[in-house]
Structure 1
Amino acid sequence: MLTILLIEDNADVRENTAEILELANYKVLTAPDGKVGVQLAEEHHPDLIVCDLAMPVLDGYGVLHMLNKKSNVRHIPFIFLTAKTERADIRKGMDMGADDYITKPFNPTELLNSVESRLKKAASIRDVMLSGLNGVDSLLKMVSTDQAMNSLKEGRNINRYKKKQSIYQEGNHPSCLFYIIKGKVKTYKRNEDGKELITGLYNEGDFLGYSALLEGSTYKDSAETMEESELAIIPRKDFEDLTSINTQVMQRFILLLANNVAERETQLLGIAYNSLRKKVAEALITVSKKYNPSSSAEFGIDISRENLAAIAGVAKESLIRTVGDFRDEKLIDIREGCIYITNAKKLTELSN
């Protein structure tokens, strides 16, 4: 059962609205003011929030502002209830990230249609990262219904790459968003001496190249395939049109960007301060988490030793020697060149 948080200071409106939603088979949480509403949102993570605009203690604008500052609740669909009909008031709420507004007095059908529409759109956006290229096209179809963008779902170009083939180079200007249909891709930086540091690993179902698009800058690193790969090409204009008309899609890419920044900071701190053994152990764990999310014991890391060394930020010879030590300690096994982690817990907890 989906949960809706209703924030409304008028007791009669609150009770009547909650009853309508409960009759439609939603679980309803209620708050008499914005401050309590924010607390309930953080505690229960509802599927949707319906919020009055004019309230004491903390008004609807304040509620939305507070939620937007919290990463765990900022993506919840948000509908304003308002007696104000001035365009400036409505525009302010939408600019802050509200998904819809309902003007009081409203009828039950209007409320339920808005709730159902926002829940469906939120579910579609959540699924897009998990359902492959078809999920991307489904999202584009959904958006294009309202925005007359039917061309977005037609004729998606697919580029095929050989192993170790360049996708883009550091310093280039982005012209498209990449979506990995098949294969593995790395992003990396290389210093003047030719030493390489891998800055990101990407797998089937991942988007690639969105950082430069979001920042309006050139690529900060280079991208190259680690095996034969197929990438869907989404033109820059399509990406910009999509993110400009759908704040939830933009927020999703911003979250991905933030996660990438956090992961890179952790990696760089590890390279700076960890011992050789710890660096190699974390590189193995990182690759396993990325390409073996189900933690299957049969998964073998078949990435080249050069790439593993570039992930760990160590010399290839040092990595090979350390991997051999891990095998002798029965932390890993090596069969036909593939590395199999046999004691992930001990490898993860390896001290400096």
Structure 2
Amino acid sequence: MNALKKTVLLIEDNQDIRESTAEILTLADFTVFTAENGKKGIELAQANLPDIILCDIMMPEMDGYSVLYLLHKNENTTDIPFIFLTAKAERADMRKGMEMGADDYLTKPFNDMELLTAIESRLQKRERAIHQANNTVSFTGLLDEARSAKLLNDISGNSRLRSYKKKQNIYMGGDQPLNVYLVKSGKIRSYMLYQDGREIISGIFNTGDFLGYESVLLNTPYPENAEAMEATELFLIPKDEFNTLLFKDRSIAKKFIQLLSGNVQEKQEQLLKLAYDSVRKRVADALINLAEKFEGAAVETCEIKISRDDLAAMVGTANETISRTLTDFKDEKMILKEGSTIKILSVEKLRRIKQ
């Protein structure tokens, strides 16, 4: 068997649906396990740890809700993406499933593309979450590594904690870098200015994020401005102390190189989106990124606070265009909006928006 093949567990009591769906998945190069009831499905999930689970709701012996509940209680299966298969008459019950932690649902009858698109979307989302988790550098993690290298005292003794008010500048583009900044609490935005005064946001940072290290690593002025979006506390690590830490501990240096490489890739993707994506797609992606940044990669519904001006600066468009697009999203029941608070009703619906 190809080691790269993804595995799917299909739990479905209807034999015709089970066999036809399994055939589609096998033709799409998935390895498929099937179960005719919830009890057997749990046994197969625990024995095989599939990459994704498709599960009917109404089944004998154990319904889909019970399957989801028990799998989420088991640490070995709790993170496996879970998609409900539901008849149209059961759609009113899907809110219960999503609140319990289901990732998505498919309404029967579904076609081949709907099935495969839903699976690929969830698998890609899980891979992104794993990648982000592997590359995330938290302050606690750095301190643990510094402790092992006997550098904890150097960091704690030479870093300073400073408070910033909303809209207060952290640094300006063109300033020489003096510190690396770590967000203890609050939110920071980095942005660039056009010649006509318009802004474009290049990054948003919250608790546990570092900023300003690119300029310290490259020994160049800050290329952008940084400003507090709300009351914020930052650890300031002096440039010389930061460089000493990197030279003394190779594992910490490696992590910052990974962060720097990731930032370059994100900037490239941002430029491509500005060049080729529609405004509607860019607004949807911006809301998804904010949701995942502040609430976590697995979130489906959440509330985020961002001004119309900041959202326009993230997307690279006019405020009026942002207002019209958000109104459209509200009419399509993807979001609710009250002041600067946007309640996302379905991250997945936003993700499905095309050009």
Distance 1:196 1:176, change over 3 A: same
> How many Å apart are 1:156 and its aligned residue?
3.1
TM-aligned CA distance change 1:273 to 1:297, over 3 Å: closer
Residues 285 and 351, structure 2, Cα contact 8 Å, conserved in 1:
yes
Code of the residue aligned with 1:141 in structure 2: it is R
Using the alignment, how far apart are the partners of 1:261 and 1:127 within structure 2? Answer: 18
Sort the Cα spacing of 1:200 and 1:238 in 2 relative to 1 into closer, same or farther, 3 A.
Answer: same
| Aligned residue type for 1:307 | D
The question of whether the paired residues in 2 share the 8 Å contact of 1:297 and 1:340 is answered with no
Partner of 1:233: 236
Equivalent residue for 2:220? 217
Output the CA distance in 2 between the equivalents of 1:131 and 1:255: 10
- Determine the C-alpha separation between the residues in 1 that align with 2:177 and 2:265: 23
Distance in 2 (CA, whole Å) between partners of 1:341 and 1:134 is 31
Gaps of 5+ in 2: 1-131
CA contact (8 A) 1:174 1:218 kept: yes
Which residue of 1 is the match for residue 145 of structure 2? 139
1:302 alignment counterpart: 305
Residue 105 of structure 1 is matched in structure 2 by: none
- For 2:270 and 2:137, locate their aligned partners in 1 and report how far apart those are by CA, in whole Å: 29
Change in 2 beyond 3 A, CA 1:297/1:337: farther
2:133 & 2:156 partners in 1: Cα distance? 17
Q: CA RMSD in A?
A: 2.3
Query: Is residue 344 from structure 1 mapped to residue 347 from structure 2 by the alignment?
Result: yes
The aligned residue for residue 292 of structure 2 is: 289
Partner of 1:32: none
Distance 1:213 1:273, change over 3 A: same
Secondary structure of the 1:172 match is coil
Contact 1:127/1:135, CA 8 A, preserved across alignment = no
- Tell me whether 1:251 sits opposite 2:257 in the alignment: no
Residue-by-residue CA offset, 1:93-113 (whole Å, 9 max, x unaligned):
xxxxxxxxxxxxxxxxxxxxx
* Cα distance in structure 2, aligned partners of 1:250 and 1:157: 21
Distance 1:226 1:211 in 2: 21
Give the superposition deviation at 1:153: 2.9
Compute the displacement of 1:335 (Å). Answer: 3.6
3-state SS, counterpart of residue 170 of structure 2: strand
For residues 322 and 133 of structure 2, the distance between their equivalents in structure 1, rounded to whole angstroms, comes to 38
Mark the CA change 1:344 to 1:195 in structure 2 (over 3 Å): closer, same or farther: same
Shift of 1:275: 1.2
What is the CA–CA distance in structure 1 between the aligned matches of 2:289 and 2:139, rounded to whole Å? Answer: 25
Relative distance call for 1:330 and 1:161 in structure 2 (3 A) is: same
1:321 aligns with 2:330: no
1:330 counterpart residue number: 333
Identity %: 36
Q: CA deviation at 1:155?
A: 5.3
- Partner in structure 1 of residue 173 of structure 2: 170
Q: Cα deviations across residues 159-187 of structure 1 (Å, max 9, x unaligned)?
A: 10001110011111111110100001111
Distance 1:156 1:207 in 2: 13
1:261 paired to 2:267: no
Indicate whether 1:188 and 2:167 are aligned: no
Amino acid at match of 1:231: L
